[in-house]
Amino acid sequence: MELKESLLKSENWVCDQTSNSSSITEFFLLTLVDTRQLQLLHFWLFLGIYLAALLGNGLIITAIACDHHLHTPMYFFLLNLSLLDLGSISTTVPKAMANSLWDTRSISYAGCVAQVFLFSFLLGAEYFLLTVMAYDRYVAICKPLHYWTLLGSRACVHMAAAAWGSGFLYAVLHTANTFSLALCQGNVVGQFFCEIPQILKLSCSRSYLREVGLLVLSACLAFGCFVFILFSYVQIFRAVLRIPSEQGRHKAFSTCLPHLAVVFLFVSTTIFAYLKPPSISSPSLDLMVAVLYSVLPPAMNPLIYSMRNKELKDVLKKLMQSVVCQQQ
């Protein structure tokens, strides 16, 4: 009899938690700052970063689309990277800016789901695309005679579509699995945007293990991509060092180093965000790291790619000169 009563209590508890989860209509995000003056400063800072990202990525997309000299596999993948960067920063920053401007913390349940899905989709697709871009550089430098055979227009479209499709599948699995959990720890998200690790902290005891297993599987896949990128660049550097002329080595490095810098920025900030020791974790540190991997890369990537790329800089100068001439 006592065992039966305990089982009934357990079932009622689970039902209560499930009903609590289904009754959530909004979440409350973590504010970056507390005082009104700092909130407005945060708004203007994020606005500047957002406009820089829009301008930089928009210029790269326009330059690649308008100039036929840049219709090559490397720039085709760079165009896709800029599109992903625009999407990822537009998923998180405008809502954070609106919350700071209007002094609010709330986000609707549907808005939170959309943020988790879009951010997971764009972040996953970007990582797969960076892996494809490493293969592009490997073929261009290590197998230049087979470059157009291995990376024809159809092959490039297929690889880019595979990156976008993989990111979409990744986002669907994680979003559906995360929001199918019973959320019984309230509705306060410990981040300035909705992300999976913070939503898992709101789930009931042990109900999140399925999603954790899926995250571990995704981490193994990401590690495999990272090993492929490292292997590709080991082969690339070996081939570059065998180039006899200094000008040839400089040209090869100028096409590889920006991509390597973007990969390092992306991987290092993401790994630190999700694998940092709990002993050093704190709300302020989590916020700072989130800004590093979700806000800064989309704004920095255009600058990194244009600094050492003479072709891209020349096309951008021509575009700006044509715009100035038309206005005069």
Question: Has residue 8 been placed in a domain?
Answer: no
Q: Assess if residue 1 is contained within a domain.
A: no
> Is residue 3 situated within a structural domain?
no
pLDDT in tens, 172-223: 998 998 888 888 878 888 888 998 888 888 887 666 677 777 878 888 888 8
Q: What range does the domain containing 243 cover?
A: 25-327
- Name the residue with tokens 């157009």: 148
| 101 in any annotated domain | yes
**pLDDT for res 12:** 41
Distant-in-sequence, close-in-space partners of 327: CB < 8 Å, separation ≥ 6:
none
Closest CA to 139 of 210, 56, 74, 50: 74
pLDDT(11) > 60? no
Report pLDDT digits (tens) over 85-135: 999 999 999 999 998 888 888 999 999 999 999 999 999 999 999 999 999
- Measuring CA to CA, which residue among 176, 197, 160, 22 is closest to residue 82? 160
Q: Which pLDDT band, with edges at 50, 70 and 90, does 6 fall under?
A: very low
Is residue 20 in a domain?
Answer: no
Tally of domains in the chain: 1
What amino acid is encoded at 6 in this protein?
Answer: S
2: in domain: no
Residue 31 DSSP SS3: coil
Query: Considering the domain boundaries, does residue 17 fall inside one?
Result: no
Residue 113 covered by a domain? yes
pLDDT at 9 exceeding the cut of 70: no
Q: Taking residues 223-243, what's their average pLDDT?
A: 90
pLDDT computed for residue 205 by the predictor: 63
Here the CATH number for the domain that contains residue 81 is 1.20.1070.10
